């Protein structure tokens, strides 16, 4: 394993901390503000183009029928025609059905919508706002449904123009899809017109001073499925109450109110009609039975009286009286069973029709077949589920197919069980008739006159009891009809909403603003990570064993000319303070040494190493630390320019053994800072640096100076710096913000491993100066 492999990922200061994020936000705050404002603009653009949705609701009470239920449970006639139990879920599903909504759709007239264009968007017109009427509409091509048609008025005439959607125009441009067009004809208001897509007549109600747009939505079924069903919401307010809320959403608040009130009105009216229809059926049935029984009663009464007069019979014997009562009871039971059979036939008819399940339940409940009741309950639940699914799906939907199969199976069972019940009732009737025959046989033992009298008296008693029973229920039913109230009550009518429910403007604007901020931060982070240039200190990943990574900021205000020592020029600036902090760090690292050699280099040229070197030496001078700076960049020397000294003689002259050490040390205007320039005779820099005289130089300088700063060539360009590393105590590598590349860090890491560099520190140079 080589040395490079010893550097694992966790050895680097590469954790992304909150302070790094805050630094990025601060550094790119104007870009983030721009993205936030851009998203804010998009939010307002969306809100402007999106119509507001208003909602209103009405609350109705579905009254409890508990009292009626008690009456009906003892009354076969009532059970035959009247449902005694209003189920909330069933009523809700009925309110959702197309058949109920169809009447409301036709009343509100959803078939045609009208618009005008104002401020680059369309505003819908409703009711008295509409200046025209469109009648006798006949759609000839369904492609026109939902398409905006422009009416261009001209006094008493007009022309029509189809406004194709942007989507259709795009498809026409890309796929050459044919656009909808109309002939450029002039039509007169009030006349019937015919195009390739529709027939209609447009009548003007009031003057039109701008184009009007209209949209044909198709028939009631299309409108219900595409518009109404998704906007209508019906729910029970609380499972413990019989209150139902009917709410509707629309872009026109008044239309929402009109639709809800119309739907409630139609539902209540239809419910009352159904109730009146049931009541009328009951009365019709009773009156028909009364008529038949009354005729039989009169006939039997007359026959009985005539027989008594003719045979001079006043009273019958006790035996005959007993026989009469028994035969009468049997006849009544037979009549009751005949009525039961009538009810069973009614139930069978309802089963065949697949409706009025509550009526079937009450009939069979009285007849006492629990098995059928369980099956009817299951059938009712399936019907409700079927109604709910049909709002959104057609009959090919798999779940609907399954439900239809289950309904067919249960219906078959109910039908069979009801037939069996009918057979048992017929068996009972047959048994009663047999008993009647037995009594009639016993009558043969009586005198002929009494036998005839018993038969006549029995017929009279049976008809009399039935007549009284029917007459009683006719009177009750008339009283009920007079006192009858609706099973529904409007608790609260729909009201005109004052504000829209969506879109939520404030929430949407804040959401877009926040989204813009987040998007800006994400883009900044992506840009920061993907960029090959080091743009801030957070882009630098360095091994933890390196000393530090500090940043020298840009100088604010007017730019300084090159070769100015800014620490001397602006000692109180933030720029100078950053060098003071760096000085503190270096002093802490070197406090146990008498003298320190600090080498300053960079990856490539123009990263500002010379600027850092002179300002660093200057800040140590201000702390009265005896310091010297050496220009060992023999290829491109610049230090003499900063201190305004002659570069004819310097360290190259010394290394060439031309002059002595003290001949190359130049004093500066600052008492604690000296400088050794590069000199002008560096023909072979790489060989000069390998001279043994360099070791002697450093040895003597250590004796006289606390800090020795060495400005060298860039390590990425030349190899001159590497021999100097063995003399240095601290190695500072300079990077230039917005200039240096991230790959330099990796190369520098490899070099520290290769040359076993210690005491490595990074300086992020943001200075305006370059060398």
- The whole-angstrom separation of Cα 681 and Cα 661 is 16
pLDDT reported for residue 515: 93
CA gap 340, 336 in Å, rounded: 6
∠ Cα 530 536 540 (to 5°): 70
Q: Which residue has the higher pLDDT, 771 or 292?
A: 292
Which residues touch 526 (CB under 8 Å, ≥6 apart)? Answer: none
Quick check: is 96 in a domain?
Answer: no
Q: Is residue 258 part of a domain?
A: no
Q: Which residue has the higher pLDDT, 18 or 576?
A: 576
Give the CB-side neighbour count of residue 283, counting CA atoms within 13 A: 14
* Least confident segment among 99-103, 280-284, 391-395: 280-284
Asked if residue 669 is part of any domain, the answer here is yes
The gap between the terminal CA atoms of the chain, to the nearest Å, is 40
Which residues pair with residue 233 across a beta bridge?
Answer: 247
Between residues 698 and 425, which one has the greater pLDDT? 698
544's CB contacts (< 8 A; 6+ apart) are 11, 12, 13
Residues 126 and 148 in one domain: yes
Residue range 651-702, pLDDT digits in tens: 988 988 878 888 899 998 888 999 999 988 677 888 888 888 999 999 999 9
Alpha carbons 4 and 407: distance in angstroms, whole number: 77
Residues 392 and 519 in one domain: no
3-state secondary structure 385-441: HHHHHHCCCCCCCHHHHHHHHHHHHHHHHHHHHHHHHHHHHHHHHHHHHHHHHHHHH
pLDDT of residue 167 exceeding 80: no
Q: Which helix (H) or strand (E) holds 299?
A: helix 253-311
For residue 128, the surrounding DSSP H or E stretch is none
The number of angstroms, rounded, from the C-alpha of 622 to the middle of its chain's C-alpha atoms is 66
User: Rounded to whole angstroms, how far apart are CA atoms 381 and 357?
Assistant: 11
Please indicate, yes or no, whether residues 616 and 600 belong to a single structural domain of this protein: yes
Mean pLDDT is lowest, of 96-110, 123-137, 417-431, for 417-431
Calculate mean pLDDT across residues 345-368. Answer: 62
Dist. CA 526–CA 144, nearest whole Å: 48
Peptide bond into 503 cis (omega under 30): yes
The answer to whether 151 and 158 are in contact (CB under 8 A) is yes
User: Do 523 and 464 fall within a single domain?
Assistant: no
Average pLDDT value over all residues in the chain:
78
Q: Which residue has the higher pLDDT, 72 or 209?
A: 209
Average pLDDT on 706-729 reads 85
- Whether the pLDDT of residue 770 is over 60: the answer is no
Q: With 50 as the cut, is the pLDDT of residue 74 above it?
A: no
The reply to whether 595 falls in a domain is yes
Full residue range of the structural domain in which residue 525 is found: 3-50+503-530
CA dist., res. 369 & res. 244, Å (int):
33
- Which pLDDT belongs to residue 558? 46
CA distance linking residue 221 with residue 204, whole number of Å: 28
Look up the pTM and report it. Answer: 0.54
pLDDT band at residue 318, thresholds of 50, 70 and 90? Answer: low
Q: In the prediction, which pLDDT does 356 show? A: 53
Is the Cβ–Cβ distance between 180 and 143 less than 8 Å?
A: yes
Secondary structure E strands in 595-698: 596-602, 627-631, 666-667, 673-676
Lowest-pLDDT choice from 277-286, 356-365, 381-390, 569-578: 356-365
Burial (0-12, 13-18, 19+ Cβ within 10 Å), 524: buried
Judge whether 407 and 326 are in contact, CB under 8 Å.
no
Poorest-pLDDT segment among 20-24, 490-494, 734-738: 20-24
* 525, 455: one domain: no
pLDDT band at residue 768 under the 50/70/90 scheme: very low
> Do 139 and 44 lie in a common domain?
no
Tell me the average pLDDT across 215-243: 87
Same domain, 510 and 400: no
Total domains, the chain: 4
Instruction: For residues 409 and 646, give the distance between their C-alpha atoms in angstroms, rounded to a whole number.
Output: 113
Q: Which of 61-65, 110-114, 313-317, 647-651 has the lowest mean pLDDT?
A: 313-317
Residues 621, 685 share a domain: yes
Phi, psi of 522 (to 5 degrees): -65, -45
Q: Which residues contact 94 (CB under 8 A, 6 or more apart)?
A: 100, 267, 387
The mean pLDDT value for 138-158 works out to 89
pLDDT at 84: 39
Least confident of 196-200, 363-367, 428-432, 668-672: 363-367
pLDDT recorded at residue 73: 44
Residue 496, pLDDT above cutoff 80: yes
Same-domain status, 517 and 542: no
β-strand partners of 143: none
Q: pLDDT-based confidence at 568, cuts 50/70/90?
A: confident
> What residues pair up with 533 in beta bridges, in sequence order?
741
Beta strands at 730-736 and 760-765: parallel, antiparallel or unpaired: parallel
Is 469 part of a structural domain of the chain?
Answer: yes
213 band by pLDDT with thresholds 50, 70 and 90:
very high
Q: How far apart are CA 749 and CA 543, in angstroms?
A: 8
pLDDT the model gives residue 551 = 78
Question: What's residue 555's pLDDT?
Answer: 62
Share of residues in the chain with pLDDT > 70 (%) = 77
Angle between helices 318-353 and 357-367 (to 10 degrees): 150
CATH number where 569 lies: 3.40.50.300
User: Is-contact 618 567, C-beta < 8 A?
Assistant: yes
Report whether pLDDT(309) > 70.
Answer: no
Q: Which residue has the higher pLDDT, 703 or 85?
A: 703
Residues 159 and 139 in one domain: yes
Least confident of 5-14, 167-176, 356-365, 405-414: 5-14
Residue 259 in domain = no
Coil/strand/helix, residue 629: strand
CA dist., res. 563 & res. 543, Å (int): 33
Structure tokens at 56: 């209103």
CA gap 286, 23 in Å, rounded = 92
* The predicted structure's pLDDT at residue 38: 93
Distance between CA 396 and CA 158 in Å, rounded? 46
Buried b / exposed e over 26-38, threshold 16 CB at 10 Å, is: ebbeeebeebbee
Whether residue 525 is found in the same domain as residue 572: no
Report the pLDDT value the prediction gives residue 761, as an integer from 0 to 100.
84
d(CA 600, CA 586): 13
pLDDT of 1 strictly over 50: no
**Averaged pLDDT, 391-407:** 81
The residue ranking higher by pLDDT, 36 or 276, is 36
Asked if residue 5 has a cis previous peptide bond (ω within 30° of 0), the answer is no
Q: How confident is the model at residue 199 (pLDDT cuts 50, 70, 90)?
A: very high
Q: What radius of gyration, in Å, describes the C-alpha atoms of the chain?
A: 52
Percent of the chain residues past pLDDT 90, beyond the cut:
18
Q: Which residues pair with 199 in a beta bridge?
A: 138, 194
**For residue 658, is it within any domain?**
yes
SS3 of residue 476 by DSSP: helix
Sign of CA dihedral 554, 560, 563, 565: negative
**Domain annotation covers residue 241:** no
For the segment 472-492, the average pLDDT, to the nearest whole number, is 62
Nearest Cα neighbor of 740 from 578, 546, 542 is: 542
At residue 219, does pLDDT exceed 90?
no
Residues 372 and 440 in one domain: yes
Q: Is the pLDDT of residue 357 over 70?
A: no
Closest of 183, 199, 182 to residue 191, by C-alpha: 199
Confidence at residue 288, expressed as pLDDT on a 0 to 100 scale: 74
Q: Which residue has the higher pLDDT, 413 or 652?
A: 652
- Most confident among 307-311, 607-611, 694-698 (mean pLDDT): 694-698
């Amino acid at each position: 394993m080589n040395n490079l492999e010893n550097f694992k990922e966790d050895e680097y200061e590469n954790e992304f901390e909150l302070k790094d994020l805050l630094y990025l936000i601060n550094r790119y705050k104007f870009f983030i503000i721009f993205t936030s404002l851009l998203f804010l603009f998009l939010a307002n653009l969306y809100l402007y183009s999106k119509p507001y949705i208003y909602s209103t609701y009405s609350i109705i009470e579905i009254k409890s029928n508990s009292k009626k239920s008690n009456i009906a449970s003892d009354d076969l006639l009532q059970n035959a025609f009247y449902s005694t139990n209003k189920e909330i879920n069933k009523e809700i599903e009925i309110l959702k059905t197309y058949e109920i909504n169809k009447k409301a759709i036709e009343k509100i007239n959803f078939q045609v919508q009208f618009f005008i264009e104002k401020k680059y968007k369309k505003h819908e017109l409703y009711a008295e706002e509409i200046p025209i009427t469109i009648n006798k509409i006949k759609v000839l091509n369904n492609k026109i449904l939902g398409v905006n048609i422009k009416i261009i008025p001209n006094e008493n005439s007009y022309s029509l123009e189809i406004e194709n959607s942007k989507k259709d125009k795009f498809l026409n441009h890309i796929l050459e899809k044919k656009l909808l067009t109309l002939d450029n004809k002039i039509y007169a208001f009030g006349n019937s017109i015919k195009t390739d897509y529709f027939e209609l007549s447009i009548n003007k109600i009031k003057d039109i001073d701008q184009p009007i747009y209209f949209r044909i939505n198709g028939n009631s079924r299309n409108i219900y499925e595409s518009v109404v069903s998704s906007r209508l919401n019906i729910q029970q307010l609380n499972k413990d109450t019989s209150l139902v809320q009917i709410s509707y959403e629309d872009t026109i608040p008044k239309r929402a109110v009109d639709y809800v009130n119309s739907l409630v009105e139609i539902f209540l009216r239809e419910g009352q009609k159904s109730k009146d229809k049931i009541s009328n059926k009951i009365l019709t049935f009773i009156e028909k039975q009364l008529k038949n029984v009354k005729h039989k009663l009169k006939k039997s009464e007359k026959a009985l009286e005539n027989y008594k007069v003719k045979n001079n019979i006043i009273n019958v014997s006790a035996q005959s009286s007993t026989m009469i009562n028994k035969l009468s009871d049997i006849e009544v039971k037979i009549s009751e069973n005949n009525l039961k059979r009538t009810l069973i036939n009614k139930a069978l008819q309802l089963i065949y029709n697949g409706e009025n399940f509550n009526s079937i339940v009450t009939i069979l409940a009285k007849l006492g077949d629990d098995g059928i009741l369980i099956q009817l309950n299951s059938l009712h639940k399936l019907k409700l589920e079927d109604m709910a699914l049909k709002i959104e799906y057609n009959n090919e939907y798999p779940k609907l197919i399954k439900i239809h199969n289950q309904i067919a199976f249960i219906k078959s069972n109910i039908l069979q069980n009801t037939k069996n019940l009918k057979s048992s009732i017929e068996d009972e009737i047959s048994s009663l008739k047999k008993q009647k025959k037995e009594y009639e046989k016993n009558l043969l033992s009586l005198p002929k006159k009494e036998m005839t009298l018993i038969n006549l008296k029995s017929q009279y008693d049976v008809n009399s009891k039935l007549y009284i029973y029917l007459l009683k229920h006719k009177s009750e039913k008339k009283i009920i009809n007079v006192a009858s109230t609706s099973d529904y009550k409007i608790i609260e009518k729909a009201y005109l909403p004052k504000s829209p429910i969506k879109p939520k403007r404030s929430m949407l604007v804040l959401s877009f603003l926040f989204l813009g901020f987040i998007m800006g931060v994400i883009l900044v982070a992506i840009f920061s990570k993907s960029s090959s240039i080091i743009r801030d200190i957070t882009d630098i990943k360095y091994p933890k064993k390196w000393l530090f990574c500090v940043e020298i900021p840009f100088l604010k205000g007017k730019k300084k000319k090159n070769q100015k020592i800014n620490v001397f020029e602006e000692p109180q600036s933030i720029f100078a303070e950053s060098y003071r902090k760096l000085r503190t760090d270096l002093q802490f690292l070197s406090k146990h040494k008498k003298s320190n050699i600090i080498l300053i280099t960079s990856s490539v040229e123009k990263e500002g190493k010379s600027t850092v070197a002179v300002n660093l030496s200057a800040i140590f001078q201000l702390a009265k630390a005896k310091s010297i700076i050496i220009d060992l960049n023999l290829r491109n020397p610049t230090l003499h320019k900063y201190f305004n000294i002659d570069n004819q003689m310097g360290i190259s002259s010394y290394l060439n053994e031309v002059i002595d050490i003290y001949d190359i040390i130049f004093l500066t205007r600052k008492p604690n800072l000296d400088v050794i320039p590069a000199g002008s005779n560096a023909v072979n820099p790489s060989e000069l640096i390998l001279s043994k005289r360099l070791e002697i130089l450093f040895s003597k300088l250590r004796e006289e100076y606390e800090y020795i700063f060495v400005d060298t060539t860039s390590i990425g360009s030349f190899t001159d710096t590497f021999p100097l590393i063995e003399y240095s105590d601290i190695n500072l590598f300079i990077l230039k913000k917005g200039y240096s590349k991230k790959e330099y860090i990796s190369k520098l890491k490899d070099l520290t491993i290769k040359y076993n560099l210690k005491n490595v520190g990074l300086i992020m140079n943001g200075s305006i100066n370059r060398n």
